[in-house]
Structure 1
Amino acid sequence: MSDRPVPTTPFRVAALQMVSTPERERNLADAERLIAQAAAEGAQLVLLPEYFCFMGHKDADKLTVREAYGDGPIQRFLADSARRHGIWVIGGTLPLAATDPSDAARVLNSTLVFDPSGAEQARYDKIHLFNFEKGAESFDEARTIRPGSDVRTFDAPFGRVGLSVCYDLRFPELYRRMGDCALIVVPSAFTYTTGRAHWEMLLRARAVENQCYVLAAAQGGSHENGRRTWGHSMLIDPWGEIVAVLDEGSGVVAGDIDRARIDEVRRSLPAWRHRVLA
């Protein structure tokens, strides 16, 4: 954890659930509406879903809206939203251009974090790339996404926040490497098939294992490109209890990060202190 003191009062956070389209500007307008709603309801940190800005008809369509790191309409939107509402904004994911010329046909699937002044505080490039084949469903993110390699966290007013994206959720070793987090975030676009089978149990497991809060913002519904995502954006507490959830459709899921709750769970069941293997 950071050496800075953490507040004892609860800190309001929100996951924004969307059903994104192939039109970037329409998605940004929807995201702005949800950010404004969450801020009006007292959220001090908001999390957008994976691909909040764009869900194309084909995997390669994301190349048409990729941005160079440091500038672009999506990055400006996130920074401006944080500044305008005076809140932390964790920007789901957006496609950033890979710097290696050999990756001209791939992007990085990146999460950017902006503080209430609009300054960028962290970047995470999705490490684990989804691959799934079942019947008519076929996904292979490695065709259009270059994987990241570094574990990333940042310090928020209530403690350390660990960054992960969607398929990362299936790899618990990633979360152990984050260290002592108060909150783990999981922006996602889980398929309906895999989400129905595993989404909730994996999220609750990560909360229980790490004895911290987990905030998951998902795509949730039937998209114009024919894809169906599972939704069920939620906030889970350190005991694995679901604080709030939204099954399907666009909306806001909100709740409090309570340091006293983290301390209570870790005091009664000190599994965090009992870890032996790194």
Structure 2
Amino acid sequence: MRVAVCQLNSREDRAHNLTVARDLLERAAAGGAKFAVLPEYVDFLGRSADAPKPESADGEFAEFFASAARELGLWVHAGSFHETGPDPARTYNTSLIFTPDGSRAAIYRKIHLYDVEIAGRVSYQESRTVAPGGQTVVADVDGVPTGLSICYDLRFPELYRQLAIAGAKILVVPAAFMLHTGRDHWEVLLRARAIENQCYVLAAGQIGDHEPGRTCFGRSMIVDPWGTVVSQAPDTVGVTFADLDLDRLDKIRTEVPSLANRRL
């Protein structure tokens, strides 16, 4: 399976963000990808006060990417967007996957919320405006079981082990990882999740500055089940490709049977 991870710099202009996302999906399709992954909050990154009105999982955002998938004949993971939440104060941070005929194949709501206070450096409380999801999701993407996660989920290995136990061979991580943590932790954590679960990891990140005064790390990448980074994006908006060798995945799981040997 040929796959693509798309790296964006989403800002306050939702229409522009979606236009760029569509262009990257077109480039992914032209490059032969069967499955393309966009980053977290492809619809909007900016001040909470300026955020667009949240919408349902079958609203305009979903229709936009369903149409793109259908017109391009592509499996599309639409990163994540601001879905209508359980109450007026909070949205869900939600991923959608669409099949090449435009139908929705899966929905996942981010489980782990980024609540961090580092004096003088970071003050971010995602839970103030976002409600957590409560279900793990493994989707069928072109016949390959694919486990879903979003950004901060990456720090919780138990989530990925559940996905692997449920049959996942691909793990998807759309993200907006911050620069100060990304430079030390992003690649290490992605490779760890790939090695310990013997899965391919597709990580699509936001890149560059956005309000209010934050910078995303980027470095979108594809990691194989041995933990090798097989493809990595440069520090710019664009599309990065790799060919997944599922026979190699099966061979790794046979020769180093750590999943089969687990006792807990």
Q: Distance in 1 between matches of 2:15 and 2:93?
A: 19
The answer to whether the aligner puts 1:113 opposite 2:102 as a matched pair is no
Aligned to 2:56: 68
Cα distance, 1:157 vs structure 2:
2.2
Aligned to 1:8: none
More strand by percentage: 2
Q: Distance in 1 between matches of 2:121 and 2:190?
A: 27
Aligned to 2:201: 214
Aligned to 2:224: 237
The answer to whether the aligner puts 1:257 opposite 2:244 as a matched pair is yes
Which of 22, 30, 53 is 1:32 aligned to?
22
Aligned to 1:168: 153
Q: Distance in 1 between matches of 2:212 and 2:242?
A: 32
What per-residue deviation string (whole Å, max 9, x for no partner) do you get for residues 162-191 of structure 1?
Answer: 000000000011111112211000000000
Q: Distance in 2 between matches of 1:238 and 1:29?
A: 33
Q: Does the CA contact (< 8 Å) of 2:43 and 2:82 recur in 1? A: no
Which TM-score applies when normalising by structure 1? 0.91
Which of 64, 74, 77 is 1:77 aligned to?
64
Q: Does the CA contact (< 8 Å) of 1:22 and 1:225 recur in 2? A: no
5 Å-filtered alignment, 1:119-130, equals 119-130=103-114
SS in 2 for 1:243: strand
Q: Distance in 1 between matches of 2:20 and 2:213?
A: 19
Aligned to 2:235: 248
Letter in 2 for 1:55: L
Q: Distance in 1 between matches of 2:198 and 2:55?
A: 36
Q: Distance in 2 between matches of 1:255 and 1:269?
A: 23
Cα distance, 1:61 vs structure 2:
3.1
Which of 31, 36, 43 is 2:33 aligned to?
43
Q: Does the CA contact (< 8 Å) of 2:221 and 2:233 recur in 1? A: yes
5 Å-filtered alignment, 1:85-96, equals 85-96=72-83
Structure 1 segments, 4+ long, off by >4 Å, are: none
Show structure 1 runs of 5+ residues with no match. Answer: 1-10
SS in 2 for 1:122: strand
Cα distance, 1:231 vs structure 2:
0.5
Between the two proteins, what is the percent identity of the paired residues?
Answer: 46
Cα distance, 1:264 vs structure 2:
1.6
5 Å-filtered alignment, 1:129-278, equals 129-134=113-118, 135-178=120-163, 179-223=166-210, 225-277=212-264
Q: Does the CA contact (< 8 Å) of 1:60 and 1:144 recur in 2? A: no
What per-residue deviation string (whole Å, max 9, x for no partner) do you get for residues 102-126 of structure 1?
Answer: x201100000110000000100000
Q: Distance in 2 between matches of 1:185 and 1:37?
A: 20
Q: Distance in 1 between matches of 2:18 and 2:40?
A: 13
RMSD across aligned positions (CA): 1.2
